[in-house]
Amino acid sequence: MEERAEEIDLSKPRLRAMGKKLPPSTPTAGRRRKGPSLVPLSACKRRRTPEASGWASLPTDVVHLVTSRLLAGDVVDYIVFRAVCSGWRSCTSDARDPTLSRPDLWLRGWVALCDGDGVRPDDAGEIGFFHTRTARRLRVRLPELRRHRIIGLTQGLIILLNKRTAAVRVLHPFTRVVVDLLSLVPVFHDAVRNRNSVLDMNAAVCSASATSIAVVAWFPWTHVLIGAEAGRPTWEVLHRGLFLKSILPFQGRLYATVAMGGSRKIMQLYPRSPHPVLARVPNDFGDQGLCGYFLVESGGQVLLAVHHLTAQHCGAEPFQQHAYKLFALDIDRGELIPVNCLGGHALFLSRDRSLSVSARDLPSVNSNSIYFSLHRDPVVVHSVRTGFSERLAVSCQIHDGKDRIRPSVRPFTIADHLLTYCHPHEWTKGLMFHEYHSIPESFEELRKNIKAKDSKLRIPRVAVC
């Protein structure tokens, strides 16, 4: 039986809560979602025993050894560890880093879930998170989302844009630490000048220094990349005229595949480098305009997945004519090394965000496989070993491109959630990608609601002295 995200229990009893299923109906704006929440941990009053006092008085070096291993795995376990007693809390550093500059306190392995109810996370004031290695699920109430628009997620850090002032902030969803940056207004009127680009903008968090972070943002159609370091007075234009295909935050830096001079190259976008081109993509896959180039972090290294068309076979379905070639990027040497197997991993690819997960931890996900989407097939899985592809969303399509043909098929699979996470334009609207990768004209109410929500984003004018 297919593993479902809604059926997964939390492994931490003190953080477990029950949620209600939503009826399979057309998403409508304004409906508040209900579900499990991450609530503050309260001290447990119990009688002190010799065993309990012994645990509380562990030697400091032993506590540091435990916390170092916890931080190497998941910051949530570290937060829970510090909440156990005052002794452990006093000899460990606070998880609330006010600068958000410590990558070991960022989230690793956590993805944001979509409820599929048509309610935007910023309107609901809460986000559900799923850990791809332990299958834990936490819903976190975040009043800081109100009056903001989500424009990016980097290792769990949420990048927000104020709907009234266009100011940018970065939020840690589990510690509730916020780092505020300046408004985009001056750089928007100087370099972007396209409000629709702001509606579809994307952003990432990078490491500016040992004590500060930076936010890098890019816009469709304008080919402008801007950046700002926390505490600095202005945003600056980092690059102009680059045709970016896939962007990847990795180890505090930002990389992308770029179309330059009739070829494809991998560049370092941030921090700016005198030699930004790292590697050239082989031109062995036919028409480059028909190929897709995706950067994804997998197993601590950067992979490049090249999506290309194969020779047509008589009687083959269109989705069977798509294939992938994989390379590992050696950043230091600037080389692309062919990869023939993903092992126990699976890739979820999108032009906006790509993801690698361990199929050993998620039995319903196929190992050594690539999940991607086509124009008419929103969920296709490609086997790296056999080279064959399979459509997964045929029986879950809610419309035929024109009219509704069935209600929402629930519960959603983990693959549905992971692919939706990789498509932020649908995720931020509270829509599952496999259902709403395209919105027919007949969905008038949904289109009207989306337009009304988008109209709340204002770009103030620059004051004239």
The tens digit of pLDDT for each residue in 78-89 reads 999 998 888 888
**Helix, strand, coil abundance in the chain, percent, nearest 5:** 20, 30, 45
Residues 208 and 84 in one domain: no
**Rounded CA separation 350/259 (Å):** 17
Confidence of residue 5 (pLDDT cuts 50, 70, 90): very low
| End residue of a domain, out of 71, 90, 109 | 90
> Is residue 402 situated within a structural domain?
no
Q: Mean pLDDT, the chain, as a whole number?
A: 88
> Is residue 372 situated within a structural domain?
yes
Residues 251 and 360 in one domain: yes
> pLDDT by residue (tens digit) across 405-451?
999 999 999 999 999 999 999 999 999 999 999 999 999 999 999 99
pLDDT (mean) for 309-313: 73
| End residue of a domain, out of 392, 411, 435 | 392
pLDDT above 70: residue 162: yes
> Is residue 1 situated within a structural domain?
no
Residues 131 and 271 in one domain: no
Residues 328 and 214 in one domain: no
pTM of the model: 0.88
| Domains of the chain: total | 3
Q: What is the DSSP annotation of 199-252? A: HT-EEEEEEEETTEEEEEEEETTTTEEEEEETT-S--EEEEES-EEEEEEEETT
Residues 237 and 153 in one domain: yes
| End residue of a domain, out of 355, 371, 392 | 392
> Is residue 27 situated within a structural domain?
no
Q: Which of 13-22, 284-293, 446-455 has the lowest mean pLDDT?
A: 13-22
pLDDT score of 53: 53
> pLDDT by residue (tens digit) across 370-410?
999 998 899 999 999 999 999 999 999 999 999 999 999 99
pLDDT score of 37: 52
**Two structure tokens written together for 237:** 């234009």
> Is residue 423 situated within a structural domain?
no
CA-wise closest residue to 434 among 465, 459, 406: 406
> Is residue 335 situated within a structural domain?
yes
> Is residue 309 situated within a structural domain?
yes
**Rounded CA separation 281/294 (Å):** 11
Residues 456 and 369 in one domain: no
pLDDT score of 310: 86
> Is residue 9 situated within a structural domain?
no
Residues 215 and 275 in one domain: no
Q: CB within 8 A of 176, min separation 6: which ones? A: 96, 142, 144
Domain span at 248: 244-392
pLDDT above 60: residue 266: yes
pLDDT above 70: residue 2: no
211 contacts 231 by C-beta, under 8 angstroms: no
